[in-house]
Amino acid sequence: MTSDALLKVLVVEDDAVDRLAIRRAIGKRAEVDDAHDGPSALNLLAAHRYDVALLDYFLPGDTGLAVFSKLREQQPDLPVIFLSGMGSEEVVLDAMKAGASDYLSKSAVEERDRLWRSVRSVIETSRLRREAERNRARLQLAVEAAGAGTWELDLSWGQFRGDARFRELFGLDEQETWTADQVRARLTPDGIARLDEALASNTVAVQLQLLGEPSRWVDLRGRHEPDARRVFGTAIDLTQVKNEEARASSLRERLMGIASHDLKNPLSAVLQASALLAQSPRLETREKRYVNHIRTSAERMTHLIVQLLDLTRVRLGGGLPLEKKKTRLDDAVRQVADELKMANPERTMALQLDELELDGDPDRLQQVASNLLGNALKHSPPDTSVAVNLRREGSAVVLEVTNLGNPIPPDKQATIFEPFVQYGENRPRDGLGLGLYISREIVRAHGGTLQVTSSPDGGTAFTARLPLPQ
C-alpha cells in the first residue's frame, strides 16, 4: 500500500459540519480535499488523482449515485465510500449495487478510527484488485503469445470449461461446458489413461494424443485449486513438435540401421580371418590367445549389430522378419539351456519342458529363450538354480523362466522392456540393454505377450505366452 503521507482523499459533502468531522477523523494521516457538490468534485478530480473518495449519498441538486457515476467516468478505478445520515438497508443495497467499495453511517465517523480503517481497507482492496487485473492481463498476453488455450475442470461435477482455443484443440462442440467423457472421447486409449493419471495428481503435466488422422498432440498443464474441487490450466498444440521429434528419431534410426548393416561385412571378414588363424599350427600359445580374443570380440560386436538392426526394423515400422515353420519349442529351449550350461558349468538349471509344437521362427524363439535364460543366470546368485518351465495353458504355450536374484522394483518393472534400459549390478557390462525389448517384440510378432513378475519370496519370473495353432 502507498504510505499514509502520500494518500489523497476526496470528500464530497454539502454539510460543512460533516466535512469538518470527516477531516478530524482522518487527521494528518492523509491529504484531504473537499467539495460541497458534484461539479466542484469533478473539477478537483480533473486536476488531481485521488486514492479514495468519501461521497455523501444525499446531495442537494444531484443524487450521490449520479455523482458517483460521473466520478467513475473520470477515474474508473477510484474506490468510493458512501456516507449517509439516513442509512437504511435499501440505501446500502443501492450503493453496493452501484459499485461502491464500502458504506458507512455518518454516526460511525465519530467512532474512534472507524472511518480511517474503512479508508485503509478499501484502498488496499482496490490495490489488490488492480494488481490482480494486471496479472490477469499479463497471463492473457502470455497465453495468446504461446497459442495456448485455457481450461478448468470441476471435479465435483466432472465438467470441463474452456476457451475457443481449448475447444479447437480438442475438436469439441461449441458450448459452455463439456463432460469429462466428451473430452476423453477425443483421446486415444493411452491418452485417456494418461489424462486420468495426471488429474489424480496435484500438478497436471501430460502430453495427450488425439484420435484421428493426421495424429494430433496436446500438452495439458494445470493445478488444483486449494480446495481440490477444481483444476485449471492451459492447453498447447504439440503436434508440430511431435512430428519434428518423429522425423528426427526416424532419421537417427535409419542412420543407425545403415551403419549397422554396413558393419556386418567387415566384421564377417574379421571372424573368418580369426577362425582361419586359429587353425594355423604355427601359432604359439600367446598368439592363439590373441586370436581367440579377436574372434570373441568380433562375435560380441556382431551380436550388438544384430540387436541394433532388429531395433531399427521394429522402430521404423517394418517389424521383425519371421520365417515360420513347425517348431518343437521344447527342443529349441533345451538346446539353448545346454549351450548356456556349457558356458556356465558351475550353474544349475531345473528344466521342466512339455513336448509342444507351434508355428514359429525357431531361430527367433531360441533368441528369446537365450535372452531370458542368460539374464536369469546373470542376475541370480551362483549357488541358486534357475527354473525353466514350458507348458500348455488352454490355447497357449507358456515359457516361464524364474530366478532367485534381487527382486526388480515395481517402477523398474514398468520400463524394463523399453530399449536401452538396463537393471542390475552388472548393467554397465550388459551391452546395449536391448535383449528384453527385442525378446518382447519377437513374442509380439508371434501374436503373444512377454511379462515380468518379481517379489522377494517368489523371485523374478519372465513369462512368454505364445498362441497355439487353431
Contacts 24+ apart (CB under 8 A), 104-108: 106/18, 106/21
Q: Are residues 156 and 251 in the same domain?
A: no
pLDDT tier at 255, thresholds 50, 70, 90: low
Tell me which of 33-47, 189-203, 244-258, 406-420 is least confident.
Answer: 244-258
pLDDT at 149: 86
Q: Are residues 261 and 337 in the same domain?
A: no
Q: Are residues 62 and 165 in the same domain?
A: no
Q: What is the mean pLDDT of the chain?
A: 84
In a domain, 49, yes or no: yes
pLDDT tier at 428, thresholds 50, 70, 90: very low
Please tell me whether residue 443 adopts helix, strand or coil conformation: helix
Grid coordinates representing 311 are: 531395433
202, 237, 272 - which closes a domain: 237
Q: Are residues 436 and 404 in the same domain?
A: yes
In a domain, 453, yes or no: yes
Q: Are residues 136 and 57 in the same domain?
A: yes
Q: 235 φ, ψ to 5°?
A: -135, 130
Q: Are residues 425 and 355 in the same domain?
A: yes
Mean pLDDT, to the nearest integer, of 46-56? 92
Most confident of 184-193, 303-312, 415-424: 184-193
Q: Are residues 226 and 302 in the same domain?
A: no
In a domain, 320, yes or no: no
3-state secondary structure 206-251: EEEEECCCCCEEEEEEEEECCCCCEEEEEEEECHHHHHHHHHHHHH
**Which residues on adjacent β-strands are paired with residue 463?**
400, 451
pLDDT tier at 454, thresholds 50, 70, 90: very high
Measure CA 84 to chain center: 57
Q: Are residues 226 and 254 in the same domain?
A: no
In a domain, 34, yes or no: yes
CB neighbour class for 12 (10 Å; exposed up to 12, middle 13-18, buried from 19):
buried
**CATH code of the domain in which 341 resides:** 3.30.565.10
Q: Are residues 330 and 454 in the same domain?
A: yes
**What's the pTM?**
0.45
How far is residue 172's CA from residue 193's CA, in Å, rounded to a whole number? 19
**CATH code of the domain in which 53 resides:** 3.40.50.2300
Please give the residue that has the higher pLDDT: either 236 or 62.
Answer: 236
**CATH code of the domain in which 152 resides:** 3.30.450.20
pLDDT at 187: 92
Location of C-alpha cell 534400459: 421
Q: Are residues 331 and 398 in the same domain?
A: yes
pLDDT at 373: 94
**Which residues on adjacent β-strands are paired with residue 396?**
393, 467
Domain count along the chain = 4
Tens of pLDDT, residues 107-150: 888 787 889 999 999 989 888 888 878 876 676 666 666 678 88
Grid coordinates representing 193 are: 489413461
Mean pLDDT, to the nearest integer, of 242-262? 64
Most confident of 84-93, 108-117, 169-178: 169-178
177, 204, 237 - which closes a domain: 237
Tell me which of 267-281, 319-333, 350-364 is least confident.
Answer: 267-281
pLDDT at 2: 46
Please give the residue that has the higher pLDDT: either 125 or 418.
Answer: 125
pLDDT tier at 12, thresholds 50, 70, 90: very high
Q: Are residues 363 and 431 in the same domain?
A: yes
User: Are 198 and 206 spatial neighbours (Cβ–Cβ below 8 Å)?
Assistant: yes
How far is residue 205's CA from residue 220's CA, in Å, rounded to a whole number? 6
Tens of pLDDT, residues 97-106: 888 888 888 8
Mean pLDDT, to the nearest integer, of 189-217? 87
In a domain, 255, yes or no: yes
Question: Residue 401 carries which DSSP code?
Answer: E
Question: Residue 8 carries which DSSP code?
Answer: E
Q: Left, alpha or beta for 158 (phi > 0: left; psi -120 to 50: alpha)?
A: left
N-term to C-term CA, the chain: 81
Q: Kindly tell me if the per-residue pLDDT of 320 is higher than 80.
A: no
pLDDT at 87: 61
Q: Cβ–Cβ contacts within 10 Å for residue 119, how many?
A: 26
pLDDT at 250: 64
Please give the residue that has the higher pLDDT: either 456 or 320.
Answer: 456
pLDDT tier at 337, thresholds 50, 70, 90: very high
pLDDT at 1: 46
141, 161, 189 - which closes a domain: 141
Q: Which residues contact 18 (CB under 8 A, 6 or more apart)?
A: 56, 83, 85, 106, 109
- Residue numbers of the domain that contains 10: 4-141
Q: Kindly tell me if the per-residue pLDDT of 426 is higher than 70.
A: no
Q: Are residues 127 and 166 in the same domain?
A: no
